[in-house]
Structure 1
Amino acid sequence: MPQQGLVVFAKNKKRVSAFYQQTLGLDVIESESSHDLLRDKVYEVVIHTIPRKYAAGLAISKPPEPREATPFKPTFVVNSLAQVRSAAEATGGYLKTEAGAWHFRGHVVLGGWDPEGNIVQFKQAE
């Protein structure tokens, strides 16, 4: 069973789910109109649909503006930041350039955001 979990609320469940599937290599374990359950051996991510009455008031720009005013930033260890960058771009997300990378406890760390601007961080072992 996964050891780490995250729930992401999304206006466009399909698009946000694709971002996390591709950037983290997660499998779809369950897919309902209300949510997608994504999982591998380490991570479990639930993409939960924002109810229509709330989603109607949310505007997601194209490209999405990062939601910097959040107190949370999930961080994921990945095998390849280059693969994450390709997956993020393919699914409407963003990963900062290598020039924006920093080094922390034996990892190269880059921030980015998903297709709805939710902040996320990825790190690769050096």
Structure 2
Amino acid sequence: MQESPMAAAVLYAKDLSLVSAFYSAVAGLAITESEPGHVAMQAHGFQLIVVAVPPHIAASIQVQAPPIRRDDTPIKLVFFVRSIEAASAQAAQLGGQMNPIEQSWQFHGATVLDGHDPEGNVFQLRQGAR
């Protein structure tokens, strides 16, 4: 049985299945609900809802290959992982990209590294202190 979430985030995606599969694999989130317009996933009291961008808006969104990192947002999702190296490899296989490991830093006893998902949304991985 999944624990009730203590915190949640909503992320809009042009490609619902690609982005939800990315976060499920890279961040280790279990998919708890999958509907045509959204996918819910969670782990450790955190829930992520990936919502499909409405078709009339999605038609105007261009996702480059590789995606252009969208740094112009005041919010960054953060996921705690067992291994930044393993999660980075998964991110690359699933269309995202992490910064080079040499750019990692320490924060509150954890190793931290930024990257972006297949649509260019910036996120962070943390390995260590939880």
TM range (shorter): over 0.9
1:120: which partner in 2?
123
Specify the SS of the correspondent of 1:23. helix
After superposition, the C-alpha distances for 1:24-76 in whole angstroms (9 at most, x for unaligned) are 11121111110001122332111100001101111000010100111111112
1:2: which partner in 2?
5
2:113: which partner in 1?
110
Q: What TM-score do the two structures reach when normalised by structure 2?
A: 0.92
Q: 1:42 aligns with which of 40, 45, 70?
A: 45
Aligned residues: 126
2:58: which partner in 1?
55
2:86 maps to amino acid: Q
2:18 maps to amino acid: R
1:101 maps to amino acid: S
Matches of 2:107 and 2:35, distance apart in 1: 38
Q: What TM-score do the two structures reach when normalised by structure 1?
A: 0.94
Does residue 92 in structure 1 map to residue 99 in structure 2? Answer: no
Specify the SS of the correspondent of 2:23. helix
Matches of 1:22 and 1:66, distance apart in 2: 20
Specify the SS of the correspondent of 2:49. strand
Q: 1:28 aligns with which of 28, 31, 54?
A: 31
1:23 maps to amino acid: V
After superposition, the C-alpha distances for 1:73-110 in whole angstroms (9 at most, x for unaligned) are 11122111012112111210111111110111111110
2:71: which partner in 1?
68
Moved over 3 A (4+): none
Give the RMSD, CA atoms, in angstroms: 1.2
Report the identity percentage.
Answer: 34
2:37 maps to amino acid: S
- The Cα of 1:122 is off from its aligned counterpart by 0.8
